[in-house]
Each structure stands twice: as C-alpha cells, then as structure tokens.
Amino acid sequence: MPTTEMKIFSLRQAAESSSEYAAITPLFIAVYEYIKGKEEMTGISIDLSGVMQAERTVKGFPMISPIDLSIERDTLVTFLLGIVSVLKQHGKEGDASLERVDRALSSGEIDPKPLLQAILERRRGPLDEAAMKIDVPPPLVEYIFEIPLKTALEQYAAGIPVDSFTDWQENICPVCGSRPGMAELAGEEGRRHLSCSTCSFTWPFKRMKCPSCGNEDAEKLSYFTAGEGATRVDTCRACSRYIKTRDSRKGACDVPLEVEDLLTIHLDLLASREGFERGK
C-alpha cells in the first residue's frame, strides 16, 4: 500500500524529470505534504462492530458500507479547513469559491457525513445540492471532501492482507465498494489487478473483461498506447468506457498508481478524443 511519503517522492521525481510535470505537480505535492503526519487525524473512522464481514463478501457486497463511516465532526472540519487553506495558497480555483466553502464549514452550514456517504455511493445529488447551497462548483466540493475520505480509507485498507479476497469477482473494491481507478499487469504472466480509486486496495480481475460493463467479447476489447511508457489505455466498445493500465513488467512499478494516474492525464485526453469515457 503506497504511503503519503511515497506519493510525494514520486511527484517530486517526476517534476525534476520534466518541465510538463513540474507545471502540474506543485498543487498535489502541497496537498500530500499537508496530509503527511495527519493520516490518523481526518475525523473519519470505520465502525464494523456487529457486522458479519465474511457474509457481506460472500454475497458480493464490500466490507465497508457507507453507514459504517463514523465521523468526529470537529476533527474532520479542522482537516477540511486545512485542505481549503492549501488550495487557497497553491490552487487555481477562485478565491471566492474557497472562501464560501471555508465559511460554510466553519459555520456548520454543510453537514459533512452525508457528503462523504454520497461520494462512497457515487450519488451526485447531495454534492450538487451542497454546492448550489453555498454557490460553488460541485467538483470543488467533491474534491475537497474526497481527500479526507480517501486518506481514512487508505489507512484502513493498509491493514488488510492483499490475499483476503481471492474469490472476489466483482468490478468494485471488496473493501469500500468504489470503482477501480487504474489497473496493473504484474508478474511474468502479466496477471491483472484493479486498484481502488478511493482506498487503493488492489484485487485480481480477469484480464479479458471490461471492469465497467463486464463485457468479455475480445472483438470489443482493445487498447492503445502513447509513446514508450508503461501505461496504456484499455478500452471497451461495448460501453465506450476505458481504464488506464500499467504494465509493471515495463517498469515504473515503484510509482504509486494514484501518482501514475496524475502523471498520465494525457492518456485521458486521448481516450476522450477517441470517444471513450472513464469507467464510473
């Protein structure tokens, strides 16, 4: 499981290697620098007391349900206000929007728990309503609240053995139920693993199968590359979705996939131009 220090190190290395990376990495480095040492101070914890975890897994449900999130509001708000402060210093989002988020958090105008649950459930409604209420762009609200959620769930998932879900065949994370952010091919046979977009847990998944729609028709599954990098774009013409996949046999396996995702945004642009959307 990647640590915050590993993410910072990889981003700094990338910035030193390319002027293009140097232009996009400062904000992310600043966010991770803020998180470093505060991983256990998000105010978010997981309460699975009384939950039959094995039964959930057998039935195809993730270990953690959104109702299992336990929130210590003051601690969470303090963490969120710190993120807003970082964005004010390093981000490009309008100061007026960030000030409105700051005021809403400080005054209690926003209730964080329903928004965290909505992110985990991929429900846009509560996020859009909160954004409209304080007159800020919905993606900004989602980005700010996603940071402590990802941090807390990464810490939880880090304590789960990687072989805990050998029979898991679902296209969602067995730990938190989120969609995969990227895939990776590893080992001599290039076995495929999906990496959770939220908690970073990885689990095995059939190689010739679309993680979005489950299509296994090889004629509708393809991929393209750009340059000599280790990461490519796997596409599915059945649902017009894609997922970026790193072949660790070609190198770069020491870079956390979350960072690799940030550094390969050009592949997202190419996929969009070809008419594909990222898996949701």
What is the residue-level pLDDT of the chain in tens, covering all 280 positions? 789 999 999 999 999 998 889 988 999 999 999 999 999 999 999 988 877 777 888 888 899 999 999 999 999 999 999 999 999 998 665 688 999 999 999 999 999 999 999 999 999 999 999 999 999 999 999 999 999 999 999 999 999 988 888 888 899 999 999 999 999 998 878 899 999 999 999 999 999 999 999 999 999 999 999 888 899 999 999 999 999 999 988 876 789 999 999 999 999 999 999 999 998 7
Report the distance separating Cα 24 and Cα 192, nearest Å: 29
Same-domain status, 151 and 61: yes
Residue with tokens 């998932």: 157
pTM higher than 0.85 for the full model? yes
Q: Are residues 100 and 185 in the same domain?
A: no
Q: Cβ distance 21 to 15 under 8 Å?
A: yes
State the Cα–Cα distance between residues 31 and 241, nearest whole angstrom. 29
Range of the domain at 139: 38-157
To the nearest 10 degrees (0 to 180), the angle between helices 125-134 and 112-121 is 140
C-alpha to C-alpha distance for 26 and 161, rounded to whole angstroms: 33
* Domain final position from 157, 172, 199: 157
Let me know if residue 240 belongs to a domain: yes
Number of domains in the chain: 2
CA distance 113 to 95: 25
Does residue 49 sit within a domain?
A: yes
> What dihedral do alpha carbons 105, 108, 110, 111 form, nearest 10°?
120
Q: SS3 of 37, please?
A: coil
